[in-house]
Structure 1
Amino acid sequence: MVEPSAVLGVVFVALGMVLSPGPNMMYLVSRSTSQGRRAGIISLAGVAAGFLVYLVGANLGLAVLFTAFPELLTAIRIAGALYLLWLAWKTLKPGGASVFAAREIPPDSPRKLFLMGLMTNLLNPKIALLYISIIPQFVDLERGNVLLQGIILGCVQVAVALLVNLSIVVAAGGIAGFLAARPSWLRLQRLTMGSLLAALAIGLALS
């Protein structure tokens, strides 16, 4: 149903997105470093619920749209490539505070942590554009059910995002201390992720 190359492409895109600083990472790291791993995991559960909302909603609408207007895939591919290039610039440009910088934040209840994680993800333009402009270009109309392909590829993205974010939540405290003493490592992380995003953008534009 879904080509292995499409799955691999979504894995690389998902890795590039989740490893680049954004609202989800900043919220999860801030909660993990200020309130502990349990708070970070509860917040991650809210983020996961947000992913599911996007996955179901986007695929139900896009399945009908792309079947009726297959030429939209070209426009979406170009829009996705431009967005990845913009994200690469945001990652590579000089300045900006580290996402792992220590912050003083009042503790929140588990319910509020979950809801804030959910809303942070739902209001995250990076995730919205991911499901609207990037993942759909990996759907092949000649390989059958468009809805099923979109759901499978979306689940791949969610799995990658949750595994990476869970690792970040667990290791946030140690990473913050490590990077605070080694700013050159933070610059290397930005350079690596920005370069990866730029390469993905060029690949999408030329595919």
Structure 2
Amino acid sequence: MYVRSIYATGDPAELDGVAEALRTEGRELLSAQPGFRGMGVFVDREIGKLLVGSWWEDEASRQASYENLSERRTEMMAPFAQTMTVDNWEAAVARRADTLGPGAVFRLVRIDVEPSGIDLLVDTFRDTSLPGVQKIPGLAGLSLLIDRGRGRAAIGALYTDRDALTASRGAVAAVRGEITAKARVSTSSVEEFEVVLATAVPHA
């Protein structure tokens, strides 16, 4: 599967209106596009950050949807977004629970990796880290996204609630250290968001 992420920052006072528009009209527009497989909307209301991820069956569907919805997407984001970055990813690993209730939260870890080391990172994550991480209480979904051309990766983790996310920080920090040592990568950022929408996606 393939993923497009949109990361925007702006005035926190304008965030909720745009997030709600994406949750409702945005989801409807994306669902009508061929190859659509799922969507997530995540917010940091205190700082004013918005993260939107959409999942696609293939690269062609991802690109076509971007072009088809370009004008409407710009209109929907305009009230909030003062900065906006669009990235494209390949989903190397995706594990997701079927349902999430109110209060769910999301952690995003951005990783820098040499393009030649992408496969080692994927293997390390899938074979060494994933079995232990999946046992963390409250973990409701996990993904590893990769960008082979630019030497980047992103690990996304869904938790059932804020308490579960908070309790997981120590164990997850240890996993990051393990991945860093075995796959020779570096962590560039760790961010946490509230979940506005997270639909189920097929496993990868």
Q: Under a length normalisation based on structure 2, what TM-score does the superposition of the two structures give?
A: 0.26
- Rg: which structure is higher? 1
Q: Which has the higher strand share?
A: 2
Q: Which has the higher helix share?
A: 1
Higher relative contact order (CA 8 A, sep 6+): 1
Q: Under a length normalisation based on structure 1, what TM-score does the superposition of the two structures give?
A: 0.26
